[in-house]
């Protein structure tokens, strides 16, 4: 008897076409962070040929988005102007109207759909689209740098084919657009760990937001105060995410791997190091590493983005132990990185910022609330 063939390698998705677009010189979302991540993965000898990227079409995007809104995106993409479109979230500083914004959005959503297909139809255990994870967009409104909500589109696409899908979002911001997309249904479960809504955009994501009607218990929120750091974050993650997923038994899991939770991100203050972020990634691999659709997300300090997602990709390959402590020398020199900024993996340190004690007390209450109110609905068992 022949041994069964090994599963196809983790699927890597990348295209230089992404780099043709630009939110503008003063915007915090730098699309060139994707090129830097790709370069770092190559320098670490972890590169793989990318699957060809195709844009999503309007029919696919309308799995989640309003067709009229998609028409407006296409019009503005060809002839950028901002008058009269503020009601759609377009033209505000966060969501500038720039040439090709529809093509940019369609390309990143197409890559996410492709990641879903590679995992659900072609036998890949995991597929990684670093350009995806635009979790704030609403059906007819751009929000938080996101014009189309590719996680919601992928989840809808998997559900349409009869699958049960869980979504786990570790971006520093609440995964609001994805949560609202599935707020009334028990067929998709959303979990978001994020900085507390009283302190950060989009101002939602309290633990009390648990879903509605038949969907009650299927939206899980873990808001965390600034300065939560690795220890609090890891504890909350371990006490909530594995038991909830084990109870829900998803066919596939879509993750949003925003890296703005890391220390020194200019927009958020959770202050994780690569130890805390890497812990979540390794748990993802253990829990659902054979049915994992991995998407990017936020991250506004470009070197953090590159090292966070290089670590993520290394974990997907099962090669995280091969990572060096420091970034490659050529890269440090070109980017003129100070000695302290040259780490690929953060050195162990106890930060204990000024809000740590408050964060710790609040996190305990949050986890207790989730375990008391949501676990019985899902049949989840406290670890
Ligand atoms: Zn974010």
| CA 258 to ligand 1 centroid distance, Å | 6
Q: Is residue 77 included in any domain, yes or no? A: no
Q: What is the pLDDT along the chain (383 residues), one digit of tens a residue?
A: 677 777 788 999 999 999 999 999 999 999 999 999 999 999 999 999 999 999 999 999 999 999 999 999 999 998 887 667 888 999 878 999 999 999 999 999 999 999 999 999 999 999 999 999 999 999 999 999 999 999 999 999 999 999 999 999 999 999 999 999 999 999 999 999 999 999 999 999 999 999 999 999 999 999 999 999 999 999 999 999 999 999 999 999 999 999 999 999 999 999 999 999 999 999 999 999 999 999 999 999 999 999 999 999 999 999 999 999 999 999 999 999 999 999 999 998 778 999 999 999 999 999 999 999 999 999 999 99
What angle separates helix 101-120 from helix 150-160, to the nearest 10 degrees? 40
Concatenated DSSP letters of 120-181:
HTS--SEEEETT---TT-BTTB-BTTBSS-HHHHHHHHHHHTT--EEEEE-SSS--HHHHHH
Measure the CA–CA gap between 246 and 293, rounded to whole angstroms: 17
Q: Is residue 113 included in any domain, yes or no? A: yes
Q: Is residue 204 included in any domain, yes or no? A: yes
Question: Across the strands, what pairs with 169?
Answer: 192, 256
Q: Is residue 358 included in any domain, yes or no? A: yes
Q: Is residue 374 included in any domain, yes or no? A: yes
Helix (H) or strand (E) holding 375: helix 375-378
| CA 369 to ligand 1 centroid distance, Å | 24
Measure the CA–CA gap between 244 and 240, rounded to whole angstroms: 6
| CATH at residue 277 | 3.40.800.20
Q: Is residue 20 included in any domain, yes or no? A: no
**173: domain range?**
11-15+28-65+105-378
Based on the structure, what is the number of domains in the chain? 1
Q: In the structure encoding, which two tokens stand for residue 317, read together?
A: 């390959």
Active site residue 194: no
| CA 379 to ligand 1 centroid distance, Å | 30
Measure the CA–CA gap between 375 and 218, rounded to whole angstroms: 10
CA angle 185, 189, 191 (to 5 degrees): 135
Query: DSSP secondary-structure letter at 286?
Result: H
| CA 233 to ligand 1 centroid distance, Å | 16
Which of these is catalytic: 38, 124, 135, 136?
Answer: 136
Q: Is residue 99 included in any domain, yes or no? A: no
| CA 173 to ligand 1 centroid distance, Å | 4
Measure the CA–CA gap between 356 and 294, rounded to whole angstroms: 30
Q: Is residue 205 included in any domain, yes or no? A: yes
| CA 4 to ligand 1 centroid distance, Å | 41
Nearest residue to 87 (alpha-carbon basis) of 145, 160, 138: 138
């Amino acid at each position: 008897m022949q041994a069964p063939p090994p599963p196809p390698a983790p699927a890597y998705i990348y295209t230089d076409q992404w780099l043709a677009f630009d939110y503008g010189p003063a915007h915090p979302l730098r699309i060139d962070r994707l090129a830097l991540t790709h370069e770092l993965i190559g320098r670490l000898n972890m590169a793989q040929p990318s699957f060809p990227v195709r844009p999503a079409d309007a029919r696919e995007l309308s799995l989640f988005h309003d067709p009229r809104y998609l028409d407006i995106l296409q019009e503005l993409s060809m002839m950028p102007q901002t008058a009269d479109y503020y009601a759609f979230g377009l033209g505000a500083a966060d969501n500038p109207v720039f040439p090709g914004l529809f093509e940019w959005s369609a390309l990143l959503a197409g890559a996410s759909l492709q990641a879903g297909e590679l995992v659900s139809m072609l036998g890949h255990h995991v597929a990684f689209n670093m350009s995806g994870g635009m979790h704030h967009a609403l059906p007819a409104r751009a929000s938080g740098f996101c014009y189309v909500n590719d996680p919601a589109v992928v989840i809808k696409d998997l559900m349409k084919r009869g699958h049960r899908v869980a979504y786990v979002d570790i971006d520093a911001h609440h995964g609001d657009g994805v949560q609202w997309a599935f707020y009334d249904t028990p067929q998709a479960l959303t979990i978001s760990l994020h900085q507390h809504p009283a302190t950060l955009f989009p101002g939602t994501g309290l633990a009390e937001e648990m879903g509605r009607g038949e969907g009650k218990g299927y939206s899980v929120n873990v808001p965390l105060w600034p300065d939560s750091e690795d220890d609090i974050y890891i504890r909350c993650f371990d006490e909530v995410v594995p038991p909830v997923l084990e109870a829900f038994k998803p066919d596939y899991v879509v993750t949003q791997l925003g890296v703005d939770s890391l220390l020194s991100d200019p927009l958020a203050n959770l202050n994780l190091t690569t130890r805390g972020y890497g812990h979540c990634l390794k748990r993802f691999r253990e829990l659902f590493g054979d049915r994992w659709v991995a998407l990017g997300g936020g991250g506004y300090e470009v070197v953090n983005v590159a090292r966070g997602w290089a670590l993520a990709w290394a974990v997907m390959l099962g090669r995280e132990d091969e990572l060096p402590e420091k970034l490659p020398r050529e890269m440090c020199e070109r980017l003129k990185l100070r000695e302290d900024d040259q780490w690929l993996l953060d050195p162990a340190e106890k930060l204990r910022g000024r809000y740590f004690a408050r964060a710790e007390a609040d996190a305990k209450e949050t986890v207790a609330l989730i375990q008391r109110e949501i676990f019985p609905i899902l049949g989840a068992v406290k670890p």
